[in-house]
Amino acid sequence: MVIHKWTVTSAIVLVAGFVFYFFIYDSPEKQIQKQFAVLAEKLEKQTGESPLISAGKAKAAADFFSHTCTVDIPEYDTQKKITAKEMARHILAFKSRFVAVQVKFYDLSVELTGENTALVAITAETRTTSASGEAEENIIEFECLLEKIEDNWKFYHISAVEVLEK
Amino acid sequence: MEPTYKDGGFNFCFKQRYLFTEPERGDVVMIRLAGEKVMLLKRIIALEGDTLAFEDGTLYLNGEQVDEEYVRYPSAWNLAPRSVKKGYVYVVGDNRSVPVDSHHFGQTPLKRIVGGPLW
């Protein structure tokens, strides 16, 4: 009977641990994953989206970036430090060129490099539709460095990985 | 990779394709990005140590003209000669009707090749 009790107790503890880890505990990996999901939403643009909503979403997306963030995208000849405010402007300028923008992130992998820093590898897919109805798809692999500031993971370095070197 | 593979088409990746052999020129391969959910489908046109160039849409490999029977759409691509690094292969899509500046091609490490399409 004692053995039976121990077996049941151990099983309950195991199940509780499993439930806690997978459903309740918000690990840094899960926090970052959620953040990318929200970022994708904020970067998107629906057909007929008002400029005011676009601006609000661009500002919300820029909040995911630290005060200054280094952006390195050789394909677009971009290598510079951008402030969060400038980032909002860049996002808004990018979105204003299209009537619709879809953003999806795939294959996110997180490596915790310190107590409050993480290295993230991810594939980003954008589908844009221009005013003339021309659709374009772009896929880029990114490496991002994130820092946890006041319970939020913020980008402080983003670089595009050159998968194919011309 | 049109017209060989339809854009947005469905296929499976044959991961064991290069278990016992090495990728060769002309092979269509799948190249991973950050993971394997999104991959690039490209054709190998040059191996490590090769020198390649495009002149008016014609491929020159190690100085010799290559007849690419899989290319259906004419192009006017021009690309200065370049060598493929050790441990890399040079890949290009079959759809050369896209301007050379907009087409995604280039050399990639062999370790990025996940396999080939099943059919």
Tens of pLDDT along A75-86? 777 889 999 999
Closest CA to A40 of A116, A156, A100, A125: A125
Instruction: Count the neighbouring beta carbons within 10 Å of the beta carbon of residue A10.
Output: 10
Sign of CA dihedral A26, A69, A128, B35: negative
Inter-chain CB proximity B34 and A165 less than 8 Å: no
pLDDT digits (tens, 9 = 90+) for A37-83: 999 999 999 999 999 999 999 999 999 999 999 999 887 778 899 99
Confidence (pLDDT) at A142: 97
Query: A141 contacts in B (CB within 8 Å)?
Result: 33-34
pTM of the model: 0.84
Among the CATH numbers 3.40.190.10, 3.40.605.10, 3.10.450.50, 3.20.20.140, which is that of A28-161? 3.10.450.50
Query: A109 contacts in B (CB within 8 Å)?
Result: 34-35
Q: Is B61 helix (H, G, I), strand (E, B) or coil?
A: strand
Closest residue of chain A to B40, computed from CA coordinates:
A139
Query: A107 contacts in B (CB within 8 Å)?
Result: 33-38
The number of residues making up chain A comes to 166
The interface residues of chain B toward chain A in range 32-61, judged by CB-CB distance below 8 A, are 33-38, 40, 42
Residue A84: HSE in the Cβ half-sphere, 13 Å Cα cutoff? 12
B38-42 CB contacts, 8 Å cutoff, 24+ apart = B38/A106, B38/A107, B38/A123, B38/A125, B38/A139, B39/B13, B39/B114, B40/A139, B40/A163, B40/A164, B40/B91, B40/B104, B41/B1, B41/B5, B41/B11, B41/B93, B41/B117, B42/A164, B42/B1, B42/B91, B42/B92, B42/B93, B42/B105
Confidence (pLDDT) at A5: 80
Q: How far apart are CA B15 and CA B26, in angstroms?
A: 18
Domains of chain B: 13-117 (2.10.109.10)
Q: How far apart are CA A141 and CA A151, in angstroms?
A: 26
**Report for A1-5, A10-14, A114-118: range of highest mean pLDDT:** A114-118
pLDDT digits (tens, 9 = 90+) for A111-151: 999 989 999 999 999 999 999 999 998 899 999 999 999 88
Closest CA to A32 of A125, A140, A142: A142
Partner residue opposite A164 with nearest CB, options B34, B36, B105: B105
Confidence (pLDDT) at B7: 78
Q: Are B63 and B50 in contact (CB under 8 A)?
A: no
Residue with tokens 């005060």: A67
* pLDDT under 70: residue ranges of chain B: none
- Please indicate if any CB of chain A lies within 8 Å of the CB of B108: yes
Partner residue opposite A107 with nearest CB, options B33, B40, B104: B33
Q: Which residues contact A93 (CB under 8 A, 6 or more apart)?
A: none
Inter-chain CB proximity A164 and B37 less than 8 Å: no
Checking if the pLDDT of A23 tops 70, the result is: no
Strand A65-73 with A152-161, pairing = parallel
Confidence (pLDDT) at A14: 83
Q: How far apart are CA B29 and CA B109, in angstroms?
A: 12
